[in-house]
Structures are given as structure tokens and as C-alpha cells.
């Protein structure tokens, strides 16, 4: 079979194993149909290799669906349903699938073993985590896993935020984490993906994918058509969100957190550090 070029981030194939739907397209020693599961932990690291010190590719949040193609020595080789990213999750982080009804709309909320804020929380869930809510008790919503979550921190899965920039602004001062997608740590493209998801807009995981897939290209330096709130601006390997015509919101490795700063200041600094010029701006 001739060699085929593909993005290893998105195609479930490795020399010894591939997804069944790739049979006849790629060579592998065996093929697997896959088993649907979900993330039962607060979040789970998706790593490039099945080892704890392997590079972090992204994170899967509580309640997200995954397709498991292989499990070995405590690791599951999976493809995320959300953005089709492929990698290795800790097997202990997975649970039986369920159909989520609600998502966390607060930046972060605690999940308790009962209907009292005085109980020791079982986990902390980040914005975008999903739960199957089966009942209510006082101010708490009760999930199918028996987690009690403050009901006013949740929104129905079908509900959409009106302003994804406002969602991203909630992450101001959140520490920068390569591959991160939670309020404990987030990277530039994770911030964009998470904010857009809250507004009902599906986005790829990495900045190069986002630049290719999202919105329409617009001029960056045309005074007759200034940038607007919500425009995305891209460098090679980096993305930020405009809060207004001159102010950029982005998670970055210079400040090591999510910051708001003048776009011109960020442009000059990135260029001065060898990061190159802006490659494009796009409007959704």
C-alpha cells in the first residue's frame, strides 16, 4: 500500500494498530472498532506516548466522550469525540459512557458527595465539563455518578453563551500550561477552543488548525477596516482573541498566564523574540 500523508494528531493509526474504518486506507498489523467511554475524572491528560512524562497534547474534561482503541498497562489509546485528537489517556480516568445533559458554565465549580458545601469536595470541575443530571436536591444538581454540583454553576448543554470573548475573559490570570484546557492551566489555542465551544462554535484544537478552519480572513493593518471584538489573530504557533480594536487577550509563555495587553505591544515582543510576524487575522 503506498504511503499516505496524514496528520498524526487526528488519525487513529500507529504501526501495530489502526481504527477499523481505516482498513484499506492505512497499513497496520491489526484494526480495532473501538469502544465508547467517557472521562470520569475531573480532567485527564492526553499524552503523546503511554507514559506520565510524555508531552501533554491536550486535556479531556469530565464527561467528554472518547473512543478507546487499545488499553495496556494502565493507558488507553483513544480518539476524543470533541475534536478528534488522538493520544493516550490514563485508563483510570475513564468511565462507562452516559449522555450529558448539562455543562459547567462557571470558570470552576466543586462536586460534592452530598448536598452540602461543608462536605469535602470529590473533585473540581472546569468550565465546559459535562454531566448527566438526574435530579435536584435544594441548590444542588445531582449527576448520574452521584456528584452534587451547585445548580447555578451549570447550564443545559443546548444553551449557548452570547459572547465567546466574555467567556475567554473569565480565564484572565489563569496560569499558562502547554496543552492545558482548564482553569488550572490553559494554552493559547485551548483558550480559543474552550471559549468558542461555550458559544456553540466547534473549533479544532491547535492554532494551525484553527487558522485554517475558522472564520474568514481579514486585513490586520487596514485603518479603514479596524479589528473588532472577537477577531482571532494568528502567529506561527500562536493565537489570541481581540477584546476590542486594539486589545489582545491570550494565554502566552512570556507572561505564563492569560493576559490582556495592547496588540501592538504583543506584536513587537513576539517579533523581537524571533516569533515572527502576524500570519493572519480571521473574523467569525
Q: What is the pLDDT of residues 50-59, one digit of tens each?
A: 999 999 999 9
Using only C-alpha atoms, the chain has a radius of gyration, in whole angstroms, of 20
Calculate ∠ Cα 121-127-133, nearest 5°.
65
Q: What is the pLDDT of residue 222?
A: 76
Confidence of residue 6 (pLDDT cuts 50, 70, 90): confident
Residues 13-95, CATH architecture:
Roll (2.30)
Domain 164-283 classification at class level: alpha beta
Mean residue pLDDT across the chain: 96
Give the angle 100-41-61 at the CA atoms, nearest 5°: 60
Per-residue pLDDT of 108-162, as tens digits, reads 999 999 999 999 999 999 999 999 999 999 999 999 999 999 999 999 999 999 9
Confidence of residue 2 (pLDDT cuts 50, 70, 90): very low
Domain 102-156 fold is SH3 type barrels. (2.30.30)
Locus of grid cell 435530579? 135
Say yes or no: do domains 13-95 and 102-156 share a fold: yes
pLDDT value of residue 1: 43
Domain ranges of the chain: 13-95, 102-156, 164-283
For residue 73 the three cell numbers come to 498497562
Amino acid at each position: 500500500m503506498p504511503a499516505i500523508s496524514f496528520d498524526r494528531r487526528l488519525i487513529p493509526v500507529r504501526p501495530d494498530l489502526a481504527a477499523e474504518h481505516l482498513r484499506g486506507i492505512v497499513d497496520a498489523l491489526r484494526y480495532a472498532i473501538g469502544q465508547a467511554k467517557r472521562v470520569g475524572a475531573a480532567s485527564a491528560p492526553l499524552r503523546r506516548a503511554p507514559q506520565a512524562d510524555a508531552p501533554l497534547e491536550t486535556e479531556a474534561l469530565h464527561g467528554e466522550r472518547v473512543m478507546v482503541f487499545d488499553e495496556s498497562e494502565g493507558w488507553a489509546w483513544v480518539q476524543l469525540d470533541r475534536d478528534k485528537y488522538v493520544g493516550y489517556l490514563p485508563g483510570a480516568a475513564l468511565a462507562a459512557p452516559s449522555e450529558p445533559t448539562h455543562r459547567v458554565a462557571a470558570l470552576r465549580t466543586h462536586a460534592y458527595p452530598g448536598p452540602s458545601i461543608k462536605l469535602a469536595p470529590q473533585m473540581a470541575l472546569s468550565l465546559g465539563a459535562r454531566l448527566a443530571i438526574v435530579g435536584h436536591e435544594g441548590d444542588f444538581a445531582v449527576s448520574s455518578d452521584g456528584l452534587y454540583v451547585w445548580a447555578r454553576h451549570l447550564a443545559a448543554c443546548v444553551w449557548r453563551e452570547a459572547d465567546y470573548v466574555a467567556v475567554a475573559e473569565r480565564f484572565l490570570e489563569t496560569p499558562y500550561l502547554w496543552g492545558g484546557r482548564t482553569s488550572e492551566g490553559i494554552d493559547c489555542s485551548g483558550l480559543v477552543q474552550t471559549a468558542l465551544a461555550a458559544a456553540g462554535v466547534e473549533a479544532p484544537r491547535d492554532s494551525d488548525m484553527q487558522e485554517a478552519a475558522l472564520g474568514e480572513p481579514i486585513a490586520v493593518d487596514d485603518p479603514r477596516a479596524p479589528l473588532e471584538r472577537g477577531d482571532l489573530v494568528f502567529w506561527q504557533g500562536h493565537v489570541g482573541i481581540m477584546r476590542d480594536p486594539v486589545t489582545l487577550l491570550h494565554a502566552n509563555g512570556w507572561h505564563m498566564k492569560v493576559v490582556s495587553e495592547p496588540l501592538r505591544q504583543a506584536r513587537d515582543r513576539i517579533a523581537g523574540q524571533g516569533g515572527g510576524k502576524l500570519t493572519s487575522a480571521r473574523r467569525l
